Structure 1
Amino acid sequence: MVTTLGTDGTPHIAPFGIARTGDDLVIAPFRPSVTLNALEATGRAVVNLTDDARLFAGCLTGRRNWPLVPATTIAGVRLATSLAHWEVEVVRVEADPVRPRFHCRSVHEVTHGPYASHNRAAAAVIEAAILCSRLYLLPWEKVEREMAYLATAVEKTAGMREREAWGWLCDRVAAFRAEGRTRTSSIATAVR
């Protein structure tokens, strides 16, 4: 989870896959995005490590009001419940009209608690969150097939947090379908 501050000080939380390239941590948001705007404006972010899958599902379903606390060395915020966080500054930008890559260096890292990893249900919730971020791109049959497959892990291994997150995502998929915005062709494919 990446937290940023806008130029007006408004915090923003967004799930991202962070890549490592040498000593750099790379954040690659698509245009347009709040995170991209904040990185361009401030050159700072906090990478938060968490085992709470609700954060991923929450960001995809409009639930972004998670407790935040000030970062330690940069003007920024971190998730209050993060297991660890890395405060980063942008050192280089690879320009791209669709998805620029912000190369960042860590200026402060703290571990707050042990990371026990994601259980199968949490991993399924994260995959379903990614799927939900692409509903408008995917054929409806793929969405149904993937959600059915992921449901098995949730049914077998979910705790209370994972069940809550799964419910949010299922509601999002149902609302999307009810809006009649499904695709029936296989023109688009999932991009991971």
Structure 2
Amino acid sequence: MIRETIVTTLSPEGRPHVAPMGATPIDGGWLLQPFRPSTTLENFLATRCGCVNFTDDARVFAGCVTKRRQDWPTEPALAVPSVRLAGALAHDEVEVERIDDGEGQRPKLYCRTVHAANDRAFGGLNRAVAAVLEGAVLVSRLDMLPADKIDAEFGYLQIAIDKTAGPEEREAWGWLSDAVAAHRAKAAS
């Protein structure tokens, strides 16, 4: 099972980095597989720690993949020298215990949870948040998927946006829709 999370790290110079990432729960922690090259991977290799954040703010996912916004507020972590997402529902502070570098684009970082916290109450499920999350995944794969698949998926996800989205989800959906249009315009030119 993969959980869609926001991973926060610090550079050796102390710059926070916020990135969406699928995280696989393992005994006592998380398996993270950041792509190479990535700032998240560089930070984990340098500092050996970070935070796995759980949020229902779909804008964070959409803002990161579209590069519309990357300056999400962070706060210091309590048990590791890193930062957590300020608006998260919960977070796990993790330390890298082992790295399986392998031969591929995605090394495996086996991380142990050293501190877990519930930061605010979960307000319930919203289909629009899930639609934005799926849309963000599609946008991250615009160069890999055919345009008709993107159109079909976005068309289906639009139903949940139309029926259940609040202002935050609509803003995030707009960023994703703009990213698809910009990608198409660039490909056509």
Mapped partners of 2:106, 2:79: distance in 1: 28
The normalised TM-score by structure 2 is 0.92
Mapped partners of 2:24, 2:168: distance in 1: 27
Unaligned runs of 5+ residues in structure 2 are: 1-5
Say if 2:25 is the partner of 1:20: yes
Mapped partners of 1:73, 1:4: distance in 2: 13
Mapped partners of 2:47, 2:188: distance in 1: 36
Name the SS of the counterpart of 2:35 in structure 1.
coil
Mapping 1:75-114, distance limit 5 Å: 75-96=81-102, 97-114=104-121
Mapped partners of 1:176, 1:92: distance in 2: 38
Aligned to 1:161: 168
Mapped partners of 1:70, 1:95: distance in 2: 29
Ranges of 4+ aligned residues in structure 1 off by more than 3 Å: none
2:134 paired residue among 101, 118, 127: 127
Mapped partners of 1:35, 1:181: distance in 2: 32
1:128–1:147 contact (8 Å) kept in structure 2: yes
1:5–1:76 contact (8 Å) kept in structure 2: yes
- Per-residue CA deviations over 1:27-74 (Å, capped at 9, x if unaligned) read 111111111111111110111111111100010111111111111121
Aligned to 1:149: 156
1:115 paired residue among 115, 122, 137: 122
1:67–1:80 contact (8 Å) kept in structure 2: yes
Mapped partners of 2:125, 2:45: distance in 1: 32
Mapped partners of 2:124, 2:186: distance in 1: 36
Aligned to 1:189: none
Aligned to 1:43: 48
The normalised TM-score by structure 1 is 0.91
Name the SS of the counterpart of 1:15 in structure 2.
strand
Mapped partners of 2:171, 2:41: distance in 1: 29
CA RMSD, 1 decimal:
1.4
Say if 2:44 is the partner of 1:32: no
Mapped partners of 2:34, 2:115: distance in 1: 22
- Matched residues, percent identical? 50
Question: What amino acid does structure 2 have at the position aligned with 1:120?
Answer: R
Aligned length: 182
Mapped partners of 1:48, 1:24: distance in 2: 13
1:51–1:117 contact (8 Å) kept in structure 2: no
1:5 paired residue among 3, 7, 10: 10
2:29–2:94 contact (8 Å) kept in structure 1: no
Q: Which has the higher mean CA deviation after the structures are superposed, 17-26 or 40-49?
A: 17-26
* 1:150–1:136 CA distance, 2 compared to 1 (3 A): same
Mapped partners of 2:16, 2:22: distance in 1: 19
